[in-house]
Copies of this chain bind each other. A is one copy, B any other.
């Protein structure tokens, strides 16, 4: 969706390097090479870059500001649902990971292991590790074990329950194949860890938090999601039940954007989290954990961005509006900047969803075309150009990033309608993403259709044919070989509109509900 350039008095011509022709800012485009397009959007929007440390990234200011906005919205939601923040150690003693059998299988395989606590001069030059630790320490891949060990000390009686704590932290999983934001060795996240007296209450918490994530994804990120249960093979290691939110990216692949785990008594038994109930009996508590990470930034990029770069939903954009003053000399500059500054104040006093608008002025001394593309690529929702001609008409020239449409607007009308415009954009992005998902979702009831849906049309087109397939299935083990062959996974068993029984599309066995099948990140 290239910017509409015809309507602008200041033509939006790509002026990067020597290229002068109107074309897309991102090369390759989505249809040419989706994975490479993703990397190029990150680069063009200046969100992040690879670091000198294998698998770790540097999150640059624009990317970090986006994450901060996500954090603030989520943090408000966690606090509104009765959670408090706290902080637990980065390191986990190796022996802690051994306590929960499935958990160690899931997380001990690839992790950063601290074995020494000092460096000393190496006789052959440089430094070498020294001071070996008695017990190696693991850099947390997730904190169930270390937090559980602490909770075991805190919990004595039913009066100590529930405990509802969240932590904002960095975690490390030694991934072999990394991709910025989607899968990195170190990433930032939040992890909630709660303890309850009953199974019902813990399950309610698990559901509540996946609902919080779904609300955040849909109303802040403008990203429609499907809430559902993970199948046993896809659950968090050690969980009794995992709920997730699943979104469709523009290449029709699924992305798991958040998970909420009902851990039953597995961790409380491994870590001795016990309490005396009202009758004086000693019981193991019921625990949950739930998390979202900087992966959400990757999901946001892939949901909305286009061949000109990043597109941001207004509620999360670090700047919702950028004003670009246009002038030829110092005299014009004085006039234009006075108009721009007062316009900025007026716009910044408007509100969207209860928050005053974030408005920036870009008065850098660089070419106008370069400056405009800078903000196009970074996804600023609204650009407002103001030059002497606009001021003469008491107006401004407004361009929306989502549609690329531009129009001259009367100043008072602009101020009065700016919040509506942003809300319209927020809704428009959601609707567009929902339509993509709906257009690429179907129900499939036999193997032949399933194979055809997930098989590329021809060798030149490596893209999967289909998007999400809703299919009845009874036993995931029956499907293992087929799914592996087609590189398809069961994303989840949706919680909504899914109570119609049927027969497994592969085996014909009776099945209670459909699962969502898709290729996935």
Interface residues of A (CB under 8 A from B): 49, 51-53, 56-61, 64-65, 67-68, 84-98, 104, 108-119, 126-129, 131, 136-139, 146, 149-150, 165, 169-170, 172, 174, 186, 188
Contacts and interface: CB of A to CB of B under 8 A. Distances in A.
* 10 cross-chain pairs, A with B, having the tightest CB-CB distances, nearest first: A61-B84, A56-B89, A113-B116, A108-B119, A59-B87, A117-B174, A113-B129, A53-B89, A115-B115, A112-B114
Contacts of A138: 119
Contacts of A113: 114-119, 129
Contacts of A131: 174
Contact of A119 (B51, B60, B109): B109
A85 B68 contact: yes
Contacts of A149: 52
B51 A150 contact: yes
A118 B110 contact: yes
Contacts of A64: 84-87
Nearest to A364: B159
A64 B94 CA distance: 26
Contacts of A84: 61, 64-65
A279 to B, nearest CB: 19
A412 B108 CA distance: 61
A53 B104 CA distance: 19
A234 to B, nearest CB: 23
22 contacts: A51-B89, A51-B146, A51-B150, A52-B96, A52-B150, A53-B146, A57-B89, A58-B88, A59-B86, A59-B87, A61-B165, A64-B84, A68-B85, A90-B172, A94-B127, A97-B127, A98-B127, A104-B127, A108-B119, A109-B119, A115-B116, A119-B138
Given A119-B111, A174-B118, A51 B88 contact: yes
Nearest to A149: B52
A490 B519 CA distance: 64
A117 B112 contact: yes
A118 B94 CA distance: 11
Contacts of A94: 119, 126-127, 129
A61 B88 contact: no
Contacts of A65: 84-85
B92 A53 contact: yes
Contacts of A52: 89, 93, 96, 146, 149-150
Given A49-B150, A110-B118, A111-B117, 17 more contacts: A51-B150, A52-B146, A53-B89, A58-B87, A59-B87, A61-B84, A61-B86, A64-B85, A90-B172, A91-B112, A94-B127, A112-B117, A113-B114, A113-B118, A117-B174, A131-B174, A139-B139
